[in-house]
Amino acid sequence: MTRAPFERDLHRVLEHLYDPAELARSPLVGLFGLGRRDDPASALQRLLLDAIQALKPRADVPSDANARRLSYILSQRYAAQFSQADIAANLAIGERHVRRLQVEARQVLADYLWAHYNLEDKTTTPSPSLPPAGSPASPSDLPGQEQELAWVRSYPNEPVDLASLVQVLSRTVGPLLQSLGVRIEIALPEDLPRLSVQAMATRQAVLNVLTAAIRAVPGGWIHVEARANCGQVIVTIRATTDGRSAAGPLPEKARQSLEMARKLAELSDGRLEVRSGQDAPGPFNAQMILPAAEQVPVLVVDDNADTLQLFRRYLEGSRYRFLGARDPQEALTLAEERPTEIIVLDVMLPGVDGWELLRRLRESSRTRRVPVVICTILPEDELALALGAAAFIRKPVSQTAFLAALDRQLDPRRESR
């Protein structure tokens, strides 16, 4: 296959990335050596999603870099299936600009696949990372559920607009709504914060809940609502009947969809709660609780500018909003004058050291209830806790450990509200 037909075929499968029939008949199945797989369509879909993930820039790439924008286009337009209008609104640019970026992003993806799989030297030769096309396929060649979830978990959280996501999914389930005579009502507040989630997993989780709700009330209504609450967005999907027909028990397929939705929501530190039958106010009621993006202000106090920049990157795309201070007095002023829910404090500071600053924070009526996480190279965890710190983490600290330490401070307080 030459380059031009390859790019045309790639464009087509990207536009139909969740259409198994279209994927199965694509010439790319043979080009990538997937024809002998039990499910060539799923194998091709996974290969392309892996490639999109591989093109995501490192964390140190500036947020305004072209590579990051093109990666965003690939992820949102194809992996998450957002419309050009949705992306234009999220990026605050025109749809014509989005179309130009989309062409450029597809070119970058084509370059990567062409080089990574040595396609110039191949016709139907399989990729080195895949089983040879002539080898017998077996179910053991395919990843199990846990392996698939682990693969999805590797995708980072990113800001997602819930209204755009729900609009896309309402079009996706349109044929199912029509076939079962179900109508849908969407009522989302305009000021709803964006989600901080694994976009692909959340899209599928919400889709699974929608299809389960639709199957629960043929001839009825589906209502989609949401509200913000303490750094989270609570999405409610409930079903009602028209009064003339009673809803029966959930079909087994719907139960399986909900179980998978629960696991997918957990990949973004969310959870799914479903009530049906006698325990629900209607025949079906589900709540998906997901983290909101940049809703929890965190003040990081450290005199090292590089450390502040590192922690800023750690918080990008999470439910936390970064505030930074290098000077102890500046930190105290920020903590007292600006809403802050968590303070991360180094103790080796110029002038007033972190221990003294911790004492002042604990004595101030405005900050005494704000949890302080001591983050230092010193092995002084017992002293930190004795002086009133809520937690202690030792430098160097990974992003996972850093976010987990913040989560532990936030969640118990949320539950008590």
Q: How many CB atoms lie within 10 A of CB 278?
A: 5
Q: For the segment 38-81, what is each residue's pLDDT rounded down to a tens digit?
A: 888 888 998 998 899 888 887 666 666 778 888 888 988 888 78
Last residue of a domain, one of 291, 323, 357: 291
Let me know whether 232 and 343 are in one domain.
no
Mean pLDDT estimate for the chain? 82
277 and 305 co-located in one domain: no
* 257 domain-assigned: yes
Residue 149 domain-assigned?
no
Q: How many CB atoms lie within 10 A of CB 44?
A: 22
Task: List Cβ neighbours of 233 (8 Å cut-off, separation of 6 or more).
Answer: 162, 192, 193, 195, 226, 227, 289, 290, 291, 292
147 in a domain, yes or no?
no
Over range 393-402, report the average pLDDT.
87
Is the CB of residue 48 less than 8 Å from the CB of residue 31?
no
Q: Same domain for 171 and 192?
A: yes
pLDDT digits (tens, 9 = 90+) for 93-121: 888 888 888 999 999 999 889 888 888 76
Within this chain, do residues 269 and 307 fall inside the same structural domain, yes or no?
no
pLDDT of 298 > 80? The answer is yes
pLDDT at 230: 74
Total domains present in the chain: 3
Is the pLDDT higher at 21 or at 155?
21
Please report whether residue 51 resides in a domain.
Answer: yes
Instruction: Identify the domain containing residue 369 by its residue range.
Output: 296-415
pLDDT above 50: residue 141: no
Q: What is the pTM of this model?
A: 0.48
Of 84, 112, 142, which residue is a domain's last?
142
Q: Are 32 and 132 in contact (CB under 8 A)?
A: no
Question: Do 132 and 177 fall into the same domain?
Answer: no
pLDDT tens for 19-50 read 888 898 899 999 998 988 888 888 899 899 88
Q: Would residue 338 count as lying in a domain?
A: yes
The rounded distance, in Å, linking the Cα atoms of 182 and 213 is 10
For the four alpha carbons of 308, 309, 315 and 320, in that order, the dihedral sign comes to: positive
Q: Is 244 helix (H, G, I), strand (E, B) or coil?
A: coil
Whether 102 maps to a domain, the answer reads yes
pLDDT in tens, 239-285: 888 655 455 677 787 888 899 999 999 988 899 998 755 555 567 89
Q: Summarize the confidence of residues 280-308 as an average pLDDT.
A: 84
> Cα(43)–Cα(20) distance, rounded to whole angstroms?
10
Q: Does residue 241 contact residue 283 with C-beta atoms inside 8 Å?
A: yes
Say whether both 8 and 131 belong to one domain: yes
Residues 6+ apart with CB under 8 A from 28: 6, 9, 10, 13, 44
pLDDT at 28: 93
Q: Is residue 301 scored above 60 in pLDDT?
A: yes
> Residue 352 sits in a domain of what CATH number?
3.40.50.2300
Does residue 136 share a domain with residue 9?
yes
In a domain, 82, yes or no: yes
Is 150 part of a structural domain of the chain?
A: no
- Residues 331 and 353: their CA atoms lie apart, in Å, by 12
Show which of 142, 174, 191 is a domain's final residue: 142
